[in-house]
Amino acid sequence: MEYTIIEGNYASIGVSKAADVVYFTFEGEKEQKCAIWLYTAGGKKTRIPVPDEYCIGALRSIGIKGLNWKRCNYNYEIDGKVTLDPHAHKVIGREKWADPGRLLEAGRIRSGFDFTEFDWKNDRFPEIPREKMVMYKLNVRSFTMDAGAVGKRKGTFAGIIDKIPYLKELGVTTLELMPVYEFEEVMPLDENGLDIAGWSQNAKEGLLVDQAYHHKIDNGQLNISEKPDKRNKSNKDNGADKEVKEKLEKEKRFKVNCWGYIPGDYYAPKASYCSEGEPSVELKTLIYELHKNHMECVLEMYFDEKMNQNIVIEILRYWVIHYHVDGFHLVGARLPANAMAQDLILRRTKLFASGFDAHLFGKKTSYPHLFIYNDDFLYASRKMLSRIDCNIVELLNQLRRQNPVFGFVNYLANNNGFTLADLFCYGQKHNEANGEGNRDGIEWNYSCNCGAEGATRKKNILEYRKKLVRNAVVIVMLGQGVPLLMAGDEFGNSQEGNNNCYCQDNHTGWVNWKDLKRRKSLTEFVQDMIGFRKAHPVLSSGRPMQLADYASKGCPDLSYHGENAWTMAPNMYQQAIGILYCGAYALREDGTEDDYIFVGMNFYIGTQFLALPKLPGKKKWYMAVNTADKEKPFYKEYDKIEIGRETQIAVLPQSIVILVGK
């Protein structure tokens, strides 16, 4: 290989290219011995030392002139330890999902070059206001494996593209993707990593050709101990490797991490989520198609406490600039959330975190982009729905939580915990299949099985469960914050009581799309409730409710009612309440005032009578939603279901009604 080395470009960490020079810039102290390994076809390897003087601060940088990068890939060596480039835009060797064979061969996982151009045309960030957002969270693989996708499109970004029309029709505006950066999904069961050389029984059986090859997984990054290549190995399995793979699978010596909440290779999209071609192109195509449909893409990013906080911000900038990502759900420890919130490049990027520092609460900006994303709404809602530790004041506070600076994300089910359907089918988690003695997963689910644990044929229990699911959908859509649905919850997807499906790469963990036809009525109800929310902006107002008529509209923006109108002071022990939204405090897109909305919630096991406040002028009450109506819980032509000027309404046991005053 003919090449010339020059000092590199310290301005950009990672690999970059200018004319006929490829620059490699990486973390490395001046006192460390550093080199670049280049791998070409036929198992050939070239080691290029990085001169000690090619260093500024803790960055080493070298340029290689004349490198034919299209025909090779690379790794770094630092003080004798060969490792992936943590800034690699592409990872070689993980193209096949959950292949245990790569645990057997040192050096298979390598850093790759990706200088592919992508034509974004006139793409623009949708920047959907938080008042209009409806979020939908999914895992790329589990969402598309059982979705009717053809061949290679299963489990891929392309499979999601196929589902965009469905998601748009449902009413989704913002897609949240669980980790799509490169991570090692094959998990050795040995807590110290899988050391093939230590498997004495396998060695005795002659299954290992060369015990000098070994590696371990260290914090999610593959660290490779290089030895002379005696076998001229390729990425294809030889007979011995295949035999070891089969033995690994048979003995269940590894599990599959389907979710990716581990440190990973944050600049590279996951290769096994790509149906064909370059992973970067397929992911960019997905985001481009979402934007064409006026939909957003939010990436969930996990960082642990060891992560360099400056690098975290750089990673987010990279995905915004190169992938046109609309936002990030930040998960992990020691996240520099406040620095991210004030970063100029991320200024119009939506950031979701469990919390932000108090000093940001008063800094209102022209484009609110910060969101608090935690389980507070989930627990307050589940307690009332399942009648466990009920506290209606807690629920009412969660329904109206809003802030001029921060938005809030409201959900009743997420990837951690039961699905929405399982929430009312199981009183206890059933995670035995995870192989951890049912000790993993959330303990406090605030779920109820409605009289039978799991599947049942009893019609009364099945109808009861359906009603509670409808109640849950209504509650999520009535919350003033941004509603979020977990993939499949709109048609009752079940995980058979498993509340921690991180390692279930099978029909338990996959979204079961056959349920879409069987439970079409639930999907239509979810779609109708999303449409109802969008049609009535008073429900999603970006302004905090004052519980007062501060603008002299004739009644408070939000008020509570019991058996008598206007006299209710909610207390934690009651389980039925009427909520009145004054539509005059919100304007529709055409500039007209919204309608009055009355919500009657009854969590008692008996019928409750709630007072209906008197409407001004000639306005009358019309029934829009009654979750107790199993045949037609949503009245599409609700302006024909007149309640009139009644002063009370009967709300059936454990059900919710919504009236429109117009």
Span 324-371, pLDDT tens digits: 999 999 999 888 888 898 899 999 999 999 988 877 766 778 899 999
pLDDT on residue 213: 26
Contact 313, 343 (CB under 8 A): yes
Rg (CA), the chain: 28
Contact 105, 254 (CB under 8 A): no
Contact 579, 560 (CB under 8 A): yes
- Ranges 58-72, 143-157, 206-220, 399-413: which has the least confidence: 206-220
591 Cβ neighbours under 8 A, 6+ residues apart: none
Note the pLDDT tens digit of each residue in 230-272.
333 333 445 555 666 666 666 667 899 999 999 999 999 999 9
pLDDT on residue 262: 94
Note the pLDDT tens digit of each residue in 15-42.
999 999 999 999 999 999 999 999 998 8
Mean pLDDT on 464-475: 98
Query: Hunting for tokens 């198609």 — which residue is that?
Result: 289
Dihedral, CA of residue 530, residue 535, residue 539 and residue 544, to nearest 10: 120
Note the pLDDT tens digit of each residue in 591-624.
999 999 999 999 999 999 999 999 999 999 999 9
Q: How confident is the model at residue 225 (pLDDT cuts 50, 70, 90)?
A: very low
Cα distances from 649 to residues 621, 624, 644, in angstroms, run 10, 13, 11
Mean pLDDT on 369-375: 96
Contact 392, 574 (CB under 8 A): yes
Note the pLDDT tens digit of each residue in 417-455.
999 999 999 999 999 999 999 999 999 999 999 999 999
Note the pLDDT tens digit of each residue in 619-655.
999 999 999 999 999 999 988 889 988 899 999 999 9
Q: How confident is the model at residue 215 (pLDDT cuts 50, 70, 90)?
A: very low
Note the pLDDT tens digit of each residue in 500-537.
999 999 999 999 999 999 999 999 999 999 999 999 99
For 161, phi and psi rounded to 5 degrees?
A: -55, -40
Mean pLDDT on 112-133: 97
Mean pLDDT on 70-75: 95
pLDDT on residue 478: 98
- Ranges 96-100, 146-150, 555-559: which has the least confidence: 146-150
pTM of this prediction? Answer: 0.91
Task: Answer yes or no: is pLDDT of 376 > 90.
Answer: yes
Our CA angle for 424, 485, 573, nearest 5°, is: 50
Task: Answer yes or no: is pLDDT of 456 > 80.
Answer: yes
